[in-house]
Structure 1
Amino acid sequence: MGIYANTNAFHIDEQNGDKSEPEDLKPEHWPRRTDTTRRNLSLKITFALLGICILVSILSLVLAVILVVQMGEMKRSDADLRMDLSQWKNNVTGNVEKATSSLTEVQAEIALLGELTGNLEKAIAQLSKLQTEIPRQRESVYSCPEEWTKFKLRCYNFSSSLANWGEAQRSCASADAHLVVINNAEEQGFLIKTINVRRWIGLSDSASEGDWRWVDGTDYNSSVKFWYEGEPNNSNNAEHCGEMFAEGRWNDEPCGNKQKWICEKPACSSIRSSCKMCNEPASQC
């Protein structure tokens, strides 16, 4: 009875709204797990931040070391670059100085060459003048006997009498001369201006028909020739001596015909004083 009475009383208390609980069942007396979790989380965050700080510090230190090393290398590279630049500048300056010196030397040589060229031109002009004067001066010391005409360094006599070719050659030989031998066109021109009639010249093929020869041995084949067209023709097989017409052309003529002739011999040098104006034969000088 008593037990039930207590139970009823409990229920009555519930019904009466008495909601009092034991002290140890109140929430404020429960274990505070949230605060411990928070503390653990805070510690983890703190350690994580500390680790990050340490890592950042290490990275910063590594970066600082790298930067210092690179700066040192850059300084060395800059020093090397400056040294190379200075050396290059010195080399360029030296090369410029050498080039300037060489240019100066070349200019001096060019000036000297110009001076030498001028002197050479003067020398050539003087030599040319001498080449013109020497033959004149040389000719001036040569002379010909009386009644002989000088041309270059030769003397010519134009006979006034008539003779056959053999007699004319012997007459020339007596004056230490020979019938004229024509060596070039200039001499041919001189003779044309002088003669006015046909005359014997020192050319014949008497020894052998067709084998024309000059009396002084000059090679006929290589010498100049001024034959009339169709001459020599050995007309009637009797023409073996050469003659020159007044207009200058040559013709073969019978050697026995009588006509005037031309003698030729070297001019006499005035140095040969033993010859009186070359009137004496050279064999007697």
Structure 2
Amino acid sequence: MGIYANTNAFHIDEQNGDKSEPEDLKPEHWPRRTDTTRRNLSLKITFALLGICILVSILSLVLAVILVVQMGEMKRSDADLRMDLSQWKNNVTGNVEKATSSLTEVQAEIALLGERVYSCPEEWTKFKLRCYNFSSSLANWGEAQRSCASADAHLVVINNAEEQGFLIKTINVRRWIGLSDSASEGDWRWVDGTDYNSSVKFWYEGEPNNSNNAEHCGEMFAEGRWNDEPCGNKQKWICEKPACSSIRSSCKMCNEPASQC
């Protein structure tokens, strides 16, 4: 009985006893190691990220400086290259211009020398490599052509504007030229066979008009324009022939017809 009493007492004490735990076993008194570790870890991560950001910023700045420097060097190199190319172009252009100028001068000298080798008979005027005689007498177109032929020449044939300009400066009255359509009306022909259709023309406005169906020979007015005129009219004329080479001494400086040289 006494044993069971003690046992009951024990159970009663266990059930009714103070159920409070010791103070040092309550959670609020546990060590705070976990929170401290987390705080330390967060600080380390923050500092690490901050360091990475600073490093990236420094690297970016360095790269930017390098790029700026390289771009500056590239611009300077490009400018230097452009300057060199411009200088080279100027040098080449200058040399080409000098060579062209020298060639032109040489050609002019050769042409002048060539012209000096050729000469014309007395009372004939030389222009380029041609000789011209301006008659002082009057004749109809046919007579004028025969007079020219007797001097191994023909009535003047105008081949270009330069020759036309020379004649304008020389004549002061109307003169026969070597142009006619006597064989067939409107079929104008030069006496030396030069193609009329492809050659230069300096007709007076409205000419040739074959007035009264009687104008078949060409003449040049004093101012240079051409006109068709009756072939039987009497007027002065212009003869033309090639200049003679003074190298051929037998020509006696072209005072004799070429056929006798």
* TM-score, with length taken from structure 2: 0.56
Tell me how far apart the structure 2 counterparts of residues 97 and 194 of structure 1 sit (CA, whole Å). 36
- Greater CA deviation, 35-44 or 167-176? 35-44
Gaps of at least 5 residues in structure 2 are none
- Greater CA deviation, 77-86 or 260-269? 77-86
SS of aligned partner of 2:224: coil
Deviation at 1:63, TM superposition (A): 43
1:124-159: CA deviations, max 9, x gaps? xxxxxxxxxxxxxxxxx0000000000000000000
SS of aligned partner of 2:251: coil
1:161-188: CA deviations, max 9, x gaps? 0000000000000000000000000000
Change (3 A) 1:12 1:105: farther
Q: Kindly indicate whether residue 123 of structure 2 is the aligned counterpart of residue 93 of structure 1.
A: no
Deviation at 1:207, TM superposition (A): 0.4
Which residue number in structure 1 is paired with residue 163 of structure 2? 187
- Greater CA deviation, 101-110 or 207-216? 101-110
- Greater CA deviation, 242-251 or 269-278? 269-278
Tell me how far apart the structure 2 counterparts of residues 234 and 212 of structure 1 sit (CA, whole Å). 12
Tell me how far apart the structure 2 counterparts of residues 263 and 148 of structure 1 sit (CA, whole Å). 9
Gaps of at least 5 residues in structure 1 are 116-140
Change (3 A) 1:29 1:105: same
Tell me how far apart the structure 1 counterparts of residues 48 and 239 of structure 2 sit (CA, whole Å). 143
Q: Kindly indicate whether residue 247 of structure 2 is the aligned counterpart of residue 271 of structure 1.
A: yes
Tell me how far apart the structure 1 counterparts of residues 204 and 65 of structure 2 sit (CA, whole Å). 118
- Greater CA deviation, 271-280 or 197-206? 271-280
Identical positions, percent: 100
- Greater CA deviation, 190-199 or 102-111? 102-111
Tell me how far apart the structure 2 counterparts of residues 61 and 227 of structure 1 sit (CA, whole Å). 85
* TM-score, with length taken from structure 1: 0.52
Change (3 A) 1:74 1:43: same
Equivalence map 1:173-252=2 (5 Å): 173-252=149-228
1:35-94: CA deviations, max 9, x gaps? 999999999999999999999999999999999999999999999999999999999999
| Superposed CA RMSD | 17.8
Change (3 A) 1:53 1:150: closer
Which residue number in structure 2 is paired with residue 20 of structure 1? 20
Tell me how far apart the structure 2 counterparts of residues 149 and 261 of structure 1 sit (CA, whole Å). 14
SS of aligned partner of 1:181: coil
Tell me how far apart the structure 2 counterparts of residues 190 and 79 of structure 1 sit (CA, whole Å). 55
Deviation at 1:279, TM superposition (A): 1.0
SS of aligned partner of 1:248: coil
Change (3 A) 1:64 1:13: farther
Deviation at 1:277, TM superposition (A): 1.3
Deviation at 1:200, TM superposition (A): 0.1
Which residue number in structure 2 is paired with residue 39 of structure 1? 39
1:214-235: CA deviations, max 9, x gaps? 0000000000000011100000
- Greater CA deviation, 181-190 or 78-87? 78-87
- Greater CA deviation, 70-79 or 156-165? 70-79
- Greater CA deviation, 80-89 or 209-218? 80-89
Deviation at 1:272, TM superposition (A): 1.1
1:222-277: CA deviations, max 9, x gaps? 00000011100000000000000000000000000000000000000011110111
Count of matched residue pairs: 260
Name which one, 1 or 2, has greater alpha-carbon Rg: 1
Runs of 4+ in 1 over 2 A off after TM superposition: 1-115
Tell me how far apart the structure 1 counterparts of residues 221 and 93 of structure 2 sit (CA, whole Å). 86
Deviation at 1:208, TM superposition (A): 0.4
